[in-house]
Structure 1
Amino acid sequence: MRSKSTRFWLIFLAICVSVFLSALEFTSVSTALPTIAHDLDGTDFVWVASAYALASTALLPATGGMAQVFGRRPCMLLSLALFALGSALCGAAKTMNWLIAARTVQGAGGGSIIAITTIVLSDLVPLAERAVYNGFSGMTWGVAAGMGPIVGGALAKNGQWRWLFYLNLPLTAVAGALVILFLNVKTPQGSFREKMAQMDWIGNALIIGSSTAVVIALTWGGVQHPWGSAQILVPLIIGLLGLLLFLLYEAKVAKHPLVPISLLSNRTSFSGYVQTLISPILTFSLLYFLPVLFQASWGASPIRSGVLLLGFALAVGPALILCGASISRTKTYRVQLWIGWAAYLAGTGVLATLDERTDIARATGGQFLISIGTGLVYAAAYFPVLAPIPITANAQALAFFQFLRSFASVWGATVGTTVLQTQLKKRLPTEFVNMLPNGVSIAYSAIPIIPNLPEPLHTEVRVAFADSIRILWQVFVGIGAIGALASLFIKALPLHKQVDEKWGMEEKAVQERADEENAQVAALESESTLIE
């Protein structure tokens, strides 16, 4: 592995700070959400999570296109600015609708941060050497993901959940300063009008509209409207057809496609993308719905539920590092993926055995297995995506990679919530439902009042939540099996040993020009000496 300059390490620091910022925000809301929904008298609580994920998802392909057209540094600064604006608006929210709108702005910035940092790293480090750096970046994400629920729970318990968002502002300032000072990478030439003409506006409209329609259907299905109703089927069908139309448009019509069809034309990349789609569904289901079990059935406080998630946080970082190190040393990635999927299925199966009786050891064991699966698949699925394609396609490939990863978190949150609320409708005691002005649709926001319920209603509600969440884990076992099956179709391909020189650091280009000028001066001096 080649040695890196000081400027590279400072850029890598900027990447890690930015990743930490985005991951901490995404995961910290889970334990604070019942308190937030209660304080704001909110019924559409699922949109607090889904709005963030939807915005980050829908704009991710555009992020890759913008980075390719306008350059990495301007896009990174714009992403940080959007994230800071959204965070400030979230902290000032007075109503649930205000908070959802602010989370949309925040998600647009947070998703773009993850995509741009991934692209910048691919510009600076060859694929054959990238596993270790991905491991450290992933460990940063894992540490933030582990801290997030604890921070969110602590602030919610003390009635200070708004600081969950305000604390992002100084972190964003640090990340922005690092980017301004050190992320001096090459920027494409051309006028603003020329660059705007290279953007795939029709493709962006298709992917944003289609993603929104699908998420609306998934959010409403089984809760606000029956799955077979027109209110669900129409946006779901339109959204899925729109996604298909987007892929056809990109393959046949687009002059500057967001997703070149070559990215999906080989089975190894296709398998990597499928695994990238499935893995976050399982991971984020744990982060969002295990705290529900802890708080609703086990009587844990928000901060206690965050502490109980440490089984995930403690293992995911080392798993990422070990996976990266093994790929860097062996230059292979298939075995790591197979082990990761086995751990995913085992961990989800363990969680499916939990009930209303507190069993910290079993819950920790299930989390530990899922964190191993998360670390291995998160780190390794990246390589079958990129190994078969040319390095010049990195930006589009990675933007689509992050799009699927983020889209999966939308499915994880909305499908999980749909399963949970559908089961709660069947299981919650009528006496408890009648206490809620809007019925089961706000049962999630009613979690803080469960400890104060009289017996036997208290126990009945705890059992109803536990039994509903058990069905949820059973559904996710089936989803995980799809990812495991997809992993069997990847080929063992060599990893690229070069980077795309079009996007290197400016200092390298400057140094090359200086060396060329020095060589010319030396040649002239030599020629002058010979003449004399």
Structure 2
Amino acid sequence: MFGIFLAALDQTIVVTTLHAIAVEFSSLDQIAWIGTAYLLTAVCLIIARAIAGLGGGGIIGLVYIIISDIVSLQDRGKYQGMIGGVFGISSVVGPLLGGAFTDSVTWRWAFYINLPFGVITVVCVILFLHLPHISGKFLEKFKRIDFLGTFVLVIATIALLLPLNWGGNKYKWDSPIIIVLLCIGGLGFIVFALVEKYVAVEPIAPGRLFKNRMVIACFAVNFFQGMSFFAMVYFIPLFFQIVKGATATKAGLDLLPLILAVVFTVIFTGQLISRTPIITYKMYCTLGGIFIIIGSGLMSTFSETSKKGELIGYLLIAGIGIGCIMQITILASQHVAAREDLASVTSLMTFFRTIGAVFGVAILGTVFNNELKNHLSGGASSFSQSGFGGGERGGLGNVPDSIKPLILNAFISSFSLSFKVVTVMGALTLISALFMENTKPAGKRTSE
């Protein structure tokens, strides 16, 4: 649980620091990189966040794999519900800590804070985590790791991320570099599939898993749910800081309805699955997709005059949708997978959610920046990038009054379009859920 707390804290603590980081580096158009590849504009920050991402991603995947090994399928919902609760709690603490550090000390403490939590996690793992030893020589086990497949997958993903972040902003969409990178990314995934099928001794993505309709549907649901969740987590605090003029700490508090709804829904569905085998996995995910669509659609109406009740209510609806899916897809895929595929299917579920988050934040960042650029020109455009820091408050404190309404309306329009894109992500989540089989938590799989 300490491991999950640390990994989730690292993912979410930066969301309320984005405004301050963008102001310091004059790089509002680059903030999506923090959510995609853990980088922004400085080389040291690039390297440090990349290393942190390696650790955080490994922790989350391994925790779910360990639970699948030591806990029965019937009780797995309760334990993964608790893990989901810890993830949610750290997602609450993260933005609040990030906001407090940004307002009171410096945004850099959002990264320093990982040190004490990391030490505590390492100590707990050494003292309390005792797993059976796997027989065999270390070198033999090391050789079975799919290094080539992992390398090709990373290169292909980066090749797609770059044009998604640069397109329409740094380069035109029809520019040679964008087209070439998109082609390299697409070709890279084809090469990855060939490596997994013909080269890897123990592939990280076994082909047999992609012959199971239920597993494929769960992968797709996780991908689009990850897109929706992290796109909202990264851009909602920015809305509160820029449009509503909130401080970083206040933006963290304003995000609470979304996160708390996720936490309570994850815990509730975990208990429900373990105690009530009547509701199918498909029903949970379908309901989640519907709530994401409704919540994000309502969020697209946010403006400077939006009332507190609207802000809280719409975030609650979206949070319930995210929580309905958060752990269900992992349980569903583990239910239908063979025993020897549990580790692979669990790690792939985590991968698809993470890679969905990466692409979701990248896509939303591109949509946001392009829409903002379309609404502004000349001097107003330069203020939109570097002049919106308002000291203790967020908002547009440094922008001249003569152009403030123009810039504010441009930001509101950009956020509105961005949340409409999240609605599309929610719709894709719902469509993917409809392809799931009607499998009940404690029953045999049934085809439609």
TM range, smaller chain: over 0.9
Give yes or no for contact 1:152–1:303 (8 Å, CA) kept in 2: yes
Q: SS of 2:172's equivalent? A: coil
Distance 2:24 2:140 in 1: 49
Is 1:168 the equivalent of 2:153? no
Using the TM superposition, give the Cα deviation of residue 47 of structure 1 relative to its aligned residue in structure 2, in angstroms: 2.3
SS at match of 2:17: helix
**Letter in structure 2 aligned against 1:421:** N
- Supply the distance in 1 between the matched residues of 2:388 and 2:341 (Cα, whole angstroms): 43
| Residue 44 (structure 2) pairs with residue 48 (structure 1) | no
Question: 1:240: how far off?
Answer: 2.1
C-alpha distance in 1 between matches for 2:136 and 2:112: 38
> Are the counterparts in 2 of residues 42 and 445 from structure 1 also a CA contact under 8 Å?
no
Residue of structure 2 in register with 1:234 after alignment: 180
Q: How far apart are residue 495 of structure 1 and its match?
A: 5.2
In structure 1, what is the Cα distance between the partners aligned to 2:156 and 2:383?
37
Q: Deviations over 1:148-171 (max 9, x none)?
A: 112111111123222212221111
CA distance in 2, matches of 1:49, 1:97: 16
Are 2:146 and 2:203, in contact at CA under 8 Å, matched by a contact in 1?
A: yes
Is 1:368 aligned with 2:316? yes
**Could you tell me which of 388, 397, 407 is aligned with 2:355?**
407
Letter in 2 for 1:52: Y
Counterpart position of 2:446: none
State yes or no: 1:28 paired with 2:32.
Answer: no
Deviation at 1:375, TM superposition (A): 0.8
Comparing 192-201 and 407-416, the one that deviates more: 192-201
* Bigger Cα displacement from structure 2, 30-39 vs 205-214: 30-39
- Alpha-carbon deviations, 1:206-250, whole Å to 9, x = none? 111111111112111121111221211211221122113212331
Contact 1:214–1:236 (8 Å) recurs in 2: yes
Which one of the candidate residues 348, 354, 378 is aligned to 2:326?
378
Partner of 1:328: 274
* Superposition map of 1:479-494 within 5 A: 479-493=425-439
Alpha-carbon shift at residue 194 of structure 1 (Å):
1.3
Structure 1 residue 112 displacement after superposition? 0.6
Whether the 8 Å contact between 2:65 and 2:342 is mirrored in structure 1 is yes
> Does the 8 Å CA contact 2:222/2:353 hold for their aligned counterparts?
yes
Cα distance in 1 for residues equivalent to 2:269 and 2:328: 7
Find the aligned partners of 1:337 and 1:434 in 2 and give their Cα distance. Answer: 43
Q: Which runs of 4+ in 1 moved over 6 A?
A: 443-447
Deviation per CA, 1:156-191, whole angstroms, max 9, x where unpaired? 112322221222111111111111012111222222
Picking from 57, 65, 71, the partner of 1:119 is 65
Question: Does the aligned pair in 2 maintain the 1:52–1:107 contact within 8 Å?
Answer: yes
- Hey, what does 2:166 align to over in structure 1? 220
- Cα RMSD over matched residues? 2.2
Name which of structure 1's ranges 457-466 and 446-455 shifts more when overlaid on structure 2. Answer: 446-455
Select 1:430's aligned residue among 375, 378, 403. Answer: 378
- 1:302 & 1:358 partners in 2: Cα distance? 19
Matched AA of 1:246: F
Matched, 1:280 2:226: yes
Q: Given that residues 214 and 435 in structure 2 are in contact (C-alpha distance below 8 angstroms), is that contact kept between their aligned partners in structure 1?
A: yes
Q: Structure 2: where are the runs of 5+ without partners?
A: 444-448
Letter in 2 for 1:258: I
Q: Which residue of 2 aligns with 1:141?
A: 87
Q: So what's the TM-score if we normalise by structure 1?
A: 0.78
Match of 1:59 in 2: none
How many angstroms does 1:130 deviate by?
Answer: 0.4
State TM-score, norm by structure 2.
0.92
Aligned mates of 1:300, 1:42 — CA distance in 2:
20
> How far did residue 479 of structure 1 move?
2.0
Distance 1:46 1:483 in 2: 22
Asked if 1:39 is matched to 2:31, the reply is: no
Q: Which moved more, 1:412-421 or 1:238-247?
A: 238-247
Counterpart of 1:350 (choices 292, 295, 298) is 298
Unaligned runs of 5+ in 1: 1-15, 54-89, 498-532
CA contact (8 A) 2:332 2:441 kept: no
CA distance in 2, matches of 1:429, 1:356: 22
Q: Please say which structure displays the higher CA radius of gyration.
A: 1
Distance in 1, Cα, partners of 2:387 & 2:226: 25
